[in-house]
């Protein structure tokens, strides 16, 4: 048991893209219950330091495995792949991106309405879910394909962030 | 009553070993202290039977007065009587000025760092003022429990940023108390409710105190409190209701001149009474007479509701945002808890119930519920409740960012990240032979650094000289379980540790704390070295006890007999030192014992992790068969 352990092994989960998030959450809480610094408030300095390190490590592991994008990037890393800064993407994907961006802008410009935004987000999420499926199939089989899926996921997730920003604006936060 | 108590080895709590722990609600308007006694958490009253200590400190020629007596003189002596000091905690002079142009104090002009308030007994910092309040309630607990407290849990608004949390911890240090944990106020309230009623589900805690508003969404499941999201406004509270009434009084009186501090404070106190009365009655007669400000009339609850409606609406808006942040559906929230005296205002309860669609809970006194929860947590943390199942996970209330080119903030740790957490960020040099670098850490959600709170400037020194871009400096940002930030750095290609000089933007430097500690000891006429000796002995006792307990629990299972003997020898050695009058020797002994027990501590932690996973290995084997 050490702090350089594979996150999947830490939680006793199979090393694959599909993760049972309820199980992940249960095991995360079980682990935190044992190591959290609150258990060592009256302990020695060594115990306090170690529990801080463990609790931090377990939090990082949980955050990484909980988010599909972070999990995918982590799986690539486990396969020895580092992401590039300026990846090349297929033209049809880029076209789709431009269209989705324009769609979002038109929602903002014209009849800024929440229902349309909800529809838009639903559409983008279904695109995301398709990419996730292709990543799940590719990882372990076709690393180049898996890597490309991650770049696409990054694009889509940025688009979702922009959509959230617009929603905040419309809700007047 | 049990005639025979059976306890597991290592879990028994001898009444003589029972630790004294307390929870402190360090409030803007009032402060409380609570303890668990005979299994029940209760707030402690003062000699006059009053549980709430007004958070007011008055500086006089004859000494410092805290509480009701100080409050009574607030309007007569406004410049030397500090009220609502919590609003000033961890704030820079510019922030303080935006809190309202009618703060009655004279601030000593410092461009950077913490503002100090001018009083007749010298300039005092908000940290020192808070320390007086802490000392006062701790004194009450020491008297009630017939002995010094071993540790306290202090509550802070969930929305408090790093500087405000650090200032609170500093105040406790200046007051000479051992802080087990800083606890978010709404979380404390949930602890009080959760353990008392065994609730499970998603709850919202709406906490409208004197000066701060917090909304927290928590999930309680399997005895685990998980903070899903926190939000609020650290400059909205019942004080603002008072101020609105005071302004209304001035307006109705037709007075248009400038208010002097005494008039202003007098009006505020009258406004508070009007507000409290209107919680119970529909209309109230008013008779104001403060020099030129004369007004006779009445105020109805309806008219009062109209005055405060925008403030209540602002709080509900913050609720909406936080619910969204938490990722739960509004319908999933099955319980709303009201905290803070200001929730007694009927319009508040009405609007909160309306938004969440459920009747809010307030069956524990909203003024005391936070202190009660803090006491329960303190009792557990100090070790009185062995093998407790409760786990409390907190989140970072505001994003941490770094200043980048063009005065923009680059977020490094997002708000609502579960803490403790860490983030490594790599930097490089932009000039040949560059050996130092300045890093500016800010906290807040806005894009511009100037719109965020400046936390600290770190100067990285001792970078090995290389060509521009060749040095890779990894800076580690650690946020601990209290939400406090620390930073360390190293050059990754050579492994050279870069030293860091911290310049907290608003906090106190260690030197300042030492000076304050000295000053407070002089005031208490205690010899500082005597104090160090007592502290070293207490620390040694704590370390010996912690290690002995650990050995009794896990020693045989984890260590060969030789190692156990070595550790027991080391314990005996430190035990021998405790009676020495040389505090440095004791401190050195503590360090030696710490080093000797390092491997054992690591083994225990591993065993704990294994234990957490033990149950499910069987289940997996089953699945495979």
Residue A55 belongs to a domain: yes
Q: What burial class does residue B264 get, using C-beta atoms within 10 Å of its C-beta: 0-12 exposed, 13-18 middle, 19+ buried?
A: buried
Residue B394: the pLDDT is: 77
Q: Reply yes or no on whether B606 is catalytic.
A: no
Residue A72 belongs to a domain: no
**B367-400: b (≥16 Cβ within 10 Å) or e:** bbbbbbbbbbbbbbbbbbbeeeebbbbbbbbbbb
* A28 and A99 inside one domain: no
Query: Per the CB < 8 Å rule, is B417 touching A63?
Result: yes
* A130 and A61 inside one domain: no
Query: Per the CB < 8 Å rule, is B181 touching A41?
Result: yes
Residue B613: the pLDDT is: 72
Please, which pLDDT band fits residue B338 given cuts at 50, 70 and 90?
Answer: very high
* A49 and A95 inside one domain: no
Residue A95 belongs to a domain: yes
Q: What is the CA radius of gyration of chain A?
A: 20
Two tokens, residue B16: 């003589």
Two tokens, residue B515: 């000076």
d(CA B590, CA B571): 9
Residue B508: the pLDDT is: 52
Cβ B479 vs Cβ B418: under 8 Å: no
Q: How many CB atoms lie within 10 A of CB A89?
A: 12
d(CA B159, CA B544): 37
Q: B141: distance to nearest CA of chain A, Å?
A: 20
Of the listed B128, B161, B162, B185, which one is catalytic? B185
CATH of the domain at A107: 1.20.1280.20
Query: Per the CB < 8 Å rule, is A34 touching B392?
Result: no
* A115 and A163 inside one domain: yes
Nearest by CB: A43 against B393, B546, B611:
B546
d(CA B574, CA B548): 12
Residue A86 belongs to a domain: no
Query: Per the CB < 8 Å rule, is B420 touching A59?
Result: yes
**Is-above-0.80 flag for pTM?**
no
Cβ B449 vs Cβ B412: under 8 Å: no
* A101 and A158 inside one domain: yes
CB pairs under 8 A between A and B: 110
Residue B308: the pLDDT is: 95
Higher pLDDT, A70 or B522: A70
* A55 and A104 inside one domain: no
Of the listed B19, B86, B135, B351, which one is catalytic? B86
Please, which pLDDT band fits residue A166 given cuts at 50, 70 and 90?
Answer: confident
What average pLDDT does the segment B237-251 reach?
A: 91
Count of structural domains within chain A: 2
Q: Coil, strand or helix: which one is B424?
A: strand
For helices B510-523 and B162-175, angle between their N-to-C axes, nearest 10 degrees:
30
Tens digit of each residue's pLDDT (9 = 90 or more) over B102-122? 566 777 765 556 778 888 888
Q: Reply yes or no on whether B207 is catalytic.
A: yes
Nearest by CB: B612 against A33, A41, A63:
A33
Q: Tell me which of A31, A34, A49, A85 to substitute to probe the interface with B (most B C-beta atoms closer than 10 Å).
A: A34
Residue B525: the pLDDT is: 43
Please, which pLDDT band fits residue B5 given cuts at 50, 70 and 90?
Answer: very low
B621 contact A CB<8A: no
d(CA B291, CA B284): 22
Residue B160: the pLDDT is: 82
Q: Reply yes or no on whether B518 is catalytic.
A: no
* A114 and A165 inside one domain: yes
Tens digit of each residue's pLDDT (9 = 90 or more) over B84-94? 888 888 887 77
Q: Residue B14: is its pLDDT beyond 80?
A: no
Please, which pLDDT band fits residue A153 given cuts at 50, 70 and 90?
Answer: very high
Cβ B154 vs Cβ B168: under 8 Å: yes
Collect all residues of chain B within an 8 Å Cβ-Cβ radius of residue A114.
Answer: none
Tens digit of each residue's pLDDT (9 = 90 or more) over A95-139? 998 999 998 888 887 666 778 888 899 999 999 999 999 999 999
Query: Per the CB < 8 Å rule, is A59 touching B381?
Result: no
What average pLDDT does the segment A24-35 reach?
A: 89
Q: Which residue of B has its CA nearest to A30?
A: B612
* A121 and A160 inside one domain: yes
Instruction: Find the distance separating the first CA and the last CA of chain B, reported in whole Å.
Output: 49
Q: Residue B345: is its pLDDT beyond 90?
A: yes
* A102 and A139 inside one domain: yes
Please, which pLDDT band fits residue B321 given cuts at 50, 70 and 90?
Answer: confident
Of the listed B19, B25, B162, B491, which one is catalytic? B25
- Whether the ipTM is more than 0.85: the answer is no
DSSP B587-603: HHHHHHHHHHTHHHHHH
Residue A149: the pLDDT is: 93
Tens digit of each residue's pLDDT (9 = 90 or more) over B610-620? 877 775 544 44
Q: Residue B313: is its pLDDT beyond 90?
A: yes
Cβ B174 vs Cβ B520: under 8 Å: yes
Of the listed B77, B128, B170, B207, which one is catalytic? B207
Nearest by CB: B391 against A29, A51, A63:
A29
* A117 and A162 inside one domain: yes
Residue A113 belongs to a domain: yes
Please, which pLDDT band fits residue B99 given cuts at 50, 70 and 90?
Answer: low
Q: Residue B517: is its pLDDT beyond 60?
A: no
Residue A76 belongs to a domain: no
Pick from A148-157, A158-167, B465-474 the range whose average pLDDT is largest: A148-157
Residue B531: the pLDDT is: 67
* A57 and A96 inside one domain: no
CATH of the domain at A49: 1.10.287.110
Q: What burial class does residue B554 get, using C-beta atoms within 10 Å of its C-beta: 0-12 exposed, 13-18 middle, 19+ buried?
A: middle
The proportion of chain B whose per-residue pLDDT surpasses 90, expressed as a percent, equals 27
Query: Per the CB < 8 Å rule, is B608 touching A30?
Result: no
Residue A83 belongs to a domain: no
* A103 and A164 inside one domain: yes
Residue A73 belongs to a domain: no
Residue B236: the pLDDT is: 86
Nearest CA to A73 out of A146, A14, A4, A127 is that of A146
Least reliable range by pLDDT among A139-143, B397-401, B465-469, B488-492: B488-492
Residue B390: the pLDDT is: 67
Residue B305: the pLDDT is: 95
* Domain span holding position A49: 7-66
Q: Residue B506: is its pLDDT beyond 70?
A: no
Collect all residues of chain B within an 8 Å Cβ-Cβ radius of residue A29.
Answer: 222, 224, 226, 391
Pick from B366-370, B401-405, B560-564 the range whose average pLDDT is largest: B366-370
């Amino acid at each position: 048991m050490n702090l350089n352990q594979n996150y999947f092994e830490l939680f006793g989960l199979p090393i694959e893209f599909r993760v049972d998030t309820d199980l992940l959450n249960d095991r995360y809480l079980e682990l935190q219950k044992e190591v959290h610094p609150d258990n060592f408030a009256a302990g020695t300095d060594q115990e306090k330091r170690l529990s801080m390190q463990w609790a931090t490590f377990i939090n990082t592991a949980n955050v990484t495995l909980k988010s599909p994008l972070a999990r995918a990037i982590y799986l690539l890393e486990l396969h020895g792949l580092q992401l590039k800064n300026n990846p090349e993407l297929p033209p049809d994907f880029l076209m789709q991106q431009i269209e989705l961006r324009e769609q979002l802008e038109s929602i903002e410009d014209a009849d800024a309405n929440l229902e349309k935004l909800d529809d838009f987000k639903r559409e983008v999420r279904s695109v995301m879910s398709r990419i996730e499926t292709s990543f799940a199939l590719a990882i372990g089989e076709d690393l180049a394909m898996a890597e490309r899926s991650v770049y696409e996921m990054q694009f889509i997730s940025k688009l979702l962030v922009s959509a959230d920003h617009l929603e905040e604006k419309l809700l007047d936060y | 009553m049990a005639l025979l108590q059976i306890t597991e080895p290592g879990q028994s709590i001898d009444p003589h070993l029972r630790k004294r722990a307390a929870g402190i609600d360090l409030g803007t308007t009032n402060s409380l202290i609570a303890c668990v006694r005979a299994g029940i958490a209760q707030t402690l009253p003062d000699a006059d039977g009053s549980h709430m200590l007004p958070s007011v400190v008055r500086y006089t020629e004859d000494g410092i007065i805290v509480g009701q007596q100080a409050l009574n003189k607030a309007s007569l002596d406004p410049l030397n009587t500090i009220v609502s000091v919590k609003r000033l905690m961890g704030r820079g002079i510019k922030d303080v000025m935006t809190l309202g142009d009618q703060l009655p104090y004279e601030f000593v002009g410092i461009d950077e760092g913490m503002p100090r308030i001018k009083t007749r007994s010298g300039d005092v910092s908000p940290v020192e003022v808070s320390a007086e309040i802490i000392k006062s309630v701790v004194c009450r607990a020491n008297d009630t429990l017939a002995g010094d407290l071993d540790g306290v849990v202090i509550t802070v608004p969930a929305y408090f940023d790093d500087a405000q949390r650090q200032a609170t911890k500093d105040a406790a240090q200046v007051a000479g108390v051992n802080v087990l944990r800083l606890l978010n106020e709404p979380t404390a309230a949930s602890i009080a409710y959760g353990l008392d009623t065994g609730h499970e589900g998603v709850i919202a805690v709406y906490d409208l105190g004197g000066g701060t508003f917090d909304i927290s969404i928590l999930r309680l499941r399997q005895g685990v409190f998980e903070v899903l999201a926190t939000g609020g406004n650290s400059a909205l509270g019942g004080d603002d209701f008072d101020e609105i009434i005071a302004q209304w009084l001035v307006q109705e009186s037709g007075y248009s001149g400038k208010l002097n501090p005494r008039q202003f404070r007098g009006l505020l106190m009258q406004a508070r009474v009007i507000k409290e009365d209107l919680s119970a009655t529909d209309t109230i007669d008013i008779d104001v007479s403060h020099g030129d400000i004369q007004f006779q009339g009445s105020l109805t609850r309806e008219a009062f509701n109209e005055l405060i409606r925008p403030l209540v609406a602002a709080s509900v808006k913050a609720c909406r945002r936080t619910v969204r942040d938490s990722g739960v559906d509004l319908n999933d929230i099955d319980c709303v808890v009201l905290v803070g005296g200001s929730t007694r205002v009927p319009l508040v309860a009405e609007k909160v119930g309306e938004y969440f669609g459920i009747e809010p809970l307030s069956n524990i006194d909203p003024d005391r519920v936070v202190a009660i929860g803090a006491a329960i947590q303190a009792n557990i943390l100090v070790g009185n409740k062995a093998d407790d199942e409760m786990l409390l996970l907190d989140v970072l209330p505001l994003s941490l960012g770094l200043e980048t080119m063009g005065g923009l903030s680059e977020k490094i740790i997002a708000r609502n990240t579960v803490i403790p957490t860490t983030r490594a960020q790599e930097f490089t040099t932009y000039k040949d032979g560059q050996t130092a670098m300045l890093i500016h850490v800010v906290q807040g959600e806005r894009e511009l650094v100037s719109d965020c709170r400046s936390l600290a400037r770190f100067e990285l020194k001792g970078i090995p000289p290389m060509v521009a871009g060749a040095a890779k400096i990894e800076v580690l940002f650690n946020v601990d379980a209290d939400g406090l930030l620390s930073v360390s750095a190293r050059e990754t290609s050579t492994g050279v540790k870069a030293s860091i000089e911290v310049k907290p933007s608003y906090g106190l430097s260690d030197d300042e704390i030492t000076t304050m500690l000295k000053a407070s000891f002089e005031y208490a006429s205690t010899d500082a070295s005597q104090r160090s000796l007592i502290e070293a002995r207490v620390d040694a006792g704590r370390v010996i006890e912690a290690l002995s307990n650990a050995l009794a629990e896990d020693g045989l299972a984890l260590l060969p007999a030789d190692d156990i003997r070595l550790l027991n020898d080391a314990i005996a050695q430190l035990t021998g030192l405790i009676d020495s009058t040389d505090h440095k020797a004791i401190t050195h002994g503590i360090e030696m014992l710490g080093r000797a027990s390092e491997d054992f501590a690591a083994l225990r932690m591993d065993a704990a992790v294994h234990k957490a996973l033990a149950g499910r290995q069987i289940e997996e084997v089953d699945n495979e068969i």
